[in-house]
């Protein structure tokens, strides 16, 4: 197994352990739960694709932020702060990859990098992902952003790739009964 893959898998395992250790509880709301551990899709966990690795970082950042929310079911929490934090992590990860390989291209991630470089990431998140429940800062430069995006982001489509999800740890009784 290549060393790069081993390092990546170690990071993912550490991150997932940290996430699952945040609380021993299973979050339940209206009798529904999303699980007690955050799992990355197996194909994503072993992928060498820099875009996929960037989206893993997004998913983990968003999940950690959700766990910090003071709500009955963090897996379903949504806030401007969490989305902005996760998008910043996404841009940072993509920048890290493109610094080491200037030939890398991903239409969405390249667009997001331009948004970030121009200083409009906060406005981008507020415009493209806002939910009614969000509180967004009143200091956002939405007018400036809209003027800029009409030219700079013509044809742009916002993307969210979640490469992980909440699930349950295998129950010893269930695992043994399946065998």
| pLDDT recorded at residue 16 | 44
Whether residue 116 lies inside any domain: the answer is yes
Domain-located, residue 61: yes
Q: Domains in the chain: how many in total?
A: 1
- The answer to whether residue 81 is domain-embedded is yes
Answer whether residue 168 is part of any domain.
no
Residue 32 within any structural domain of the chain: no
Question: What phi and psi, each to the nearest 5 degrees, are found at residue 71?
Answer: -135, 160
The model's pLDDT over 53-74, given as tens digits with 9 standing for 90+, comes to: 999 999 988 988 887 877 777 7
- Is residue 24 in a domain? no
Give residue 55's domain range. Answer: 38-163
- Greater confidence (164 vs 122) lies with 122
When comparing pLDDT for 12 and 160, which is higher? 160
User: What pLDDT is attached to residue 34?
Assistant: 57
- Rounded Cα distance between 128 and 161, Å, is 14
Mean pLDDT, to the nearest integer, of 84-97?
Answer: 97
Q: Give the CA count within 13 Å in the CB-facing half-sphere of 135.
A: 0
């Amino acid at each position: 197994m290549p060393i790069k893959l081993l390092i990546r898998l170690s990071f993912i395992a550490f991150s997932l352990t940290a996430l699952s250790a945040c609380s021993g509880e299973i979050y339940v709301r209206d009798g529904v739960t999303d699980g007690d551990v955050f799992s990355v899709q197996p194909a994503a966990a072993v992928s060498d694709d820099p875009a996929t690795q960037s989206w893993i970082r997004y998913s983990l950042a968003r999940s950690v932020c959700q766990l910090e929310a003071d709500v009955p079911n963090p897996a379903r929490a949504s806030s401007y702060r969490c989305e902005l934090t996760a998008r910043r992590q996404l841009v940072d990860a993509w920048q890290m990859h493109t610094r080491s390989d200037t030939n890398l291209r991903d239409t969405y991630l390249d667009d997001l990098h331009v948004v970030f470089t121009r200083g409009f990431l906060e406005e981008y998140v507020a415009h493209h992902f806002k939910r009614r429940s969000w509180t967004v800062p009143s200091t956002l430069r939405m007018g400036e952003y809209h003027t800029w995006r009409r030219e700079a982001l013509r044809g742009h489509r916002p993307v969210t790739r979640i490469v992980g999800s909440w699930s349950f740890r295998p129950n010893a009784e269930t695992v043994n009964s399946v065998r």
